[in-house]
């Protein structure tokens, strides 16, 4: 009861802030375009004075927007979703409310409603709604990191998926999730984990849940249907939320969609990579690459001169790589090694410090002084914008490996060829050259299975500080 009351108070506060945002959006838009209105701009004249012929439209717009924000669950703080997802919901809500206002103006036969005020109000709503929600997330993340409103959780299943889930939770303290331990019928307390231990079997769930004040349980294993059904019944009695990791999620491409056939709920493994979304990705890649080349042209020119003065050889290095569908293309880079690096490589195979087929050593004697600097800050990768323009690469995607480093008998490596390779990706923001090859492949497969436009944006934004720090590149 106390939790419900607190939740209601918080939601009322969120609604109040949105109302303030709406009032400010309308007022600022009217103030900027005051000459288009038949009255003096003030809060009273805009929303109360009957002389204002647009007063009811503004009030209707505000009410519809609040209703849609609630429908899109914007009055809840879902820690698990990306900020970009919440902002996208804001855009959808404002867009739909704007459409409804257009219909209301047409049906109400309200003449001369200023279009400039309509567009300004819509944009300002998106800006204000998004800005305060970003600030809210920062504040909530701070409170959660201090221990406020954290959740105690159990993980059912101490296998690979359970351990991976614990690792992902540990990277996100703002989620406020405390992993108390694992329940597993086949592993004991000697299980090797980051922090949590196996503290019982699945049959021990009721006792452990009460003793440890468990709020939620994550089910990561699916080996016993009867045990799962019993767990659901016990969790319902104890008021513990049950969350299930979909079986085979790491092998299936696409999003998950839920619908019902009668009273039977169905979880669908949807194909996320529909043609229109891929076209959207291509348009974004082309536009961003073209803009980037135009802005970075002076830097290209300076780097080319420095490379030319530093060591003999070509300015650009072309490497044959596998692209989408196994098509071979030449990937462009600024040359960072001596011109005969390929011949020297055969004499250095036994010095490889990387696992898998990748060749990497920290102090590679083939790298020039200028090349070391270019590699540290990924400046040698900039010419790949040309590959993006040509449609051979994307801004974000699995890193293209040299042809001789791709094992065609390895299905997981071949899966990387389902999409266009990228200039940056999860490998870039999570360690660059410091990560193992097996983990690189694992992240690439995860990216392919979970790709979305917002994930690409998130990776691009996270790439910037990683590149500036220059950590993990050699």
Same domain, 14 and 93: yes
What's the total number of domains in the chain? 3
- Pick the closest to residue 448 from 280, 331, 278, 273 (CA basis): 273
- Specify the range with the lowest mean pLDDT, choosing from 47-56, 119-128, 191-200: 191-200
Same domain, 141 and 155: no
Does residue 265 sit within a domain? Answer: no
Any idea which residue has 């109360």 for tokens?
Answer: 48
Does residue 7 sit within a domain? Answer: yes
Per-residue pLDDT reduced to its tens digit, 442-459? 788 888 877 878 788 888
> And the tokens for 473?
């590149």
Same domain, 114 and 235: no
Tell me the Ramachandran region of residue 249: left when phi exceeds 0, alpha when psi lies from -120 to 50, beta otherwise.
alpha
Q: Is the pLDDT of residue 413 over 80?
A: no
Per-residue pLDDT reduced to its tens digit, 307-351? 988 888 899 999 888 888 888 999 999 998 887 767 676 666 666
**pLDDT band at 27, cuts 50/70/90?**
very high
Per-residue pLDDT reduced to its tens digit, 65-87? 999 999 888 988 777 676 777 88
The mean pLDDT of 277-291, rounded to a whole number, is: 85
Distance in angstroms (rounded) separating the CA atoms of residues 472 and 375: 10
| pLDDT at residue 63, rounded to an integer | 94
Residue ranges with strand state E in 150-274: 151-156, 177-183, 198-200, 216-219, 241-244, 256-261, 264-269
Same domain, 325 and 239: no
Identify which of 21-30, 105-114, 435-444 has the greatest average pLDDT.
21-30
- Specify the range with the lowest mean pLDDT, choosing from 9-23, 188-202, 310-324, 446-460: 188-202
**CA angle, residues 40, 46, 51, in degrees to nearest 5:** 75
Same domain, 114 and 180: no
- Specify the range with the lowest mean pLDDT, choosing from 85-99, 203-217, 358-372: 358-372
Does residue 266 sit within a domain? Answer: no
Same domain, 460 and 330: yes
Which of 198, 229, 245 corresponds to the end of one domain?
245
Average pLDDT, the chain: 82
Task: Work out whether the CA dihedral 14, 16, 17, 18 comes out positive or negative.
Answer: positive
Instruction: Tell me the chain's radius of gyration from C-alpha atoms.
Output: 28
Element (H, E) at 460: helix 453-469
> And the tokens for 98?
């704007």
Q: Is the pLDDT of residue 388 over 90?
A: yes
| pLDDT at residue 358, rounded to an integer | 64
Does residue 240 sit within a domain? Answer: yes
How much of the chain exceeds pLDDT 90, in percent?
27
Which of 130, 145, 160 corresponds to the end of one domain?
145
Per-residue pLDDT reduced to its tens digit, 234-275? 998 998 989 888 876 665 555 666 767 877 777 776 554 455
Does residue 192 sit within a domain? Answer: yes
Same domain, 102 and 219: no
Q: What is the pTM of this model?
A: 0.52
Element (H, E) at 125: helix 115-145
- Specify the range with the lowest mean pLDDT, choosing from 67-76, 194-203, 210-219, 249-258: 249-258
CATH of the domain at 210: 3.40.50.720
DSSP state of 203: G
Which has more confidence, 167 or 280? 167
Same domain, 364 and 405: yes
Which residues, other chains included, contact 383 with Cβ-Cβ below 8 Å and sequence gap of 6+? 300, 316, 332, 333, 334
| pLDDT at residue 67, rounded to an integer | 93
Does residue 262 sit within a domain? Answer: no
User: In terms of residue numbers, what domain contains 402?
Assistant: 275-343+353-469
Distance in angstroms (rounded) separating the CA atoms of residues 67 and 61: 10
Same domain, 405 and 424: yes
| pLDDT at residue 29, rounded to an integer | 93
The mean pLDDT of 296-304, rounded to a whole number, is: 91
Q: Is the pLDDT of residue 357 over 70?
A: no
Same domain, 184 and 297: no
- Specify the range with the lowest mean pLDDT, choosing from 196-200, 415-419, 435-439: 435-439
Which of 205, 226, 245 corresponds to the end of one domain?
245
Does residue 209 sit within a domain? Answer: yes
Same domain, 70 and 132: yes
Does residue 6 sit within a domain? Answer: yes
**pLDDT band at 191, cuts 50/70/90?**
low
How many residues comprise the chain?
474
Q: Is the pLDDT of residue 12 over 70?
A: yes
| pLDDT at residue 366, rounded to an integer | 83
- Tell me the DSSP string of 349-367: GGG--SSTT----TT-TTB
Same domain, 241 and 176: yes
| pLDDT at residue 272, rounded to an integer | 47
């Amino acid at each position: 009861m106390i939790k419900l009351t607190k939740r209601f108070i918080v939601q009322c506060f969120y609604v109040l802030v949105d109302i303030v945002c709406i009032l400010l959006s309308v007022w600022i838009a009217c103030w900027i375009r005051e000459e288009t209105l038949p009255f003096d701009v003030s809060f009273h004249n805009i929303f109360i004075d009957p002389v204002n012929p647009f007063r009811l439209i503004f009030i209707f717009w505000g009410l519809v927007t609040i209703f849609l924000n609630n429908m899109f669950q914007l009055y809840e703080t879902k820690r698990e979703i990306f900020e970009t997802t919440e902002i996208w919901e804001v855009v959808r809500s404002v867009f739909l409310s704007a459409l409804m206002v257009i219909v209301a103006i047409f049906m109400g036969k309200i003449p001369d409603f200023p279009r400039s005020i309509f567009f300004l109000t819509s944009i300002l709503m998106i800006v204000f709604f998004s800005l305060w929600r970003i600030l809210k997330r920062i504040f909530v993340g701070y409170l959660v990191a201090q221990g406020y409103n954290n959740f105690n959780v159990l993980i059912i299943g101490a296998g690979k998926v359970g351990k991976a889930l614990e690792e992902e939770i540990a990277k996100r303290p703002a989620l406020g999730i405390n992993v108390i331990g694992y329940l597993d019928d086949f592993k004991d307390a000697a299980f090797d984990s980051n922090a949590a231990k196996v503290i019982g079997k699945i049959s021990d769930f009721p006792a452990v849940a009460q003793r440890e004040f468990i709020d939620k349980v994550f089910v990561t294993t699916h080996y016993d249907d009867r045990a799962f059904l019993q767990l659901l019944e016990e969790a319902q009695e104890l008021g513990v939320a049950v969350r299930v990791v979909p079986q085979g999620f790491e092998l299936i491409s696409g999003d998950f969609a839920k619908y019902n056939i009668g009273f039977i709920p169905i979880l669908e493994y949807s194909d996320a990579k529909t043609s229109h979304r891929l076209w959207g990705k291509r348009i974004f890649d082309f536009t961003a690459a073209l803009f980037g080349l135009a802005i970075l042209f002076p830097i290209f020119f300076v780097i080319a001169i420095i490379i030319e003065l530093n060591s003999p050889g070509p300015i650009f290095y072309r490497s044959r790589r596998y692209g989408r569908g196994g098509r071979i293309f030449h990937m462009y880079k600024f040359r960072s090694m001596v011109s005969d690096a390929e011949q020297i490589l055969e004499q250095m195979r036994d010095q490889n410090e990387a696992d898998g087929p990748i060749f990497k050593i920290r102090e590679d004697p083939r790298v020039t002084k200028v090349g070391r600097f270019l590699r540290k800050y990924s400046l040698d990768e900039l010419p790949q914008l040309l590959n993006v323009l040509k449609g051979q690469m994307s801004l974000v995607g699995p890193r293209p490996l040299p042809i001789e480093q791709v094992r065609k008998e390895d299905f997981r490596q071949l899966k990387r060829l389902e999409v266009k390779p990228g200039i940056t990706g999860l490998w870039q923001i999570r360690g660059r050259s410091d990560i193992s090859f097996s983990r690189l492949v694992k992240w690439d497969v995860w990216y392919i299975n979970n790709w979305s436009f917002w994930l690409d944006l998130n990776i691009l934004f996270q790439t910037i500080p990683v590149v500036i720090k220059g950590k993990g590149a050699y």
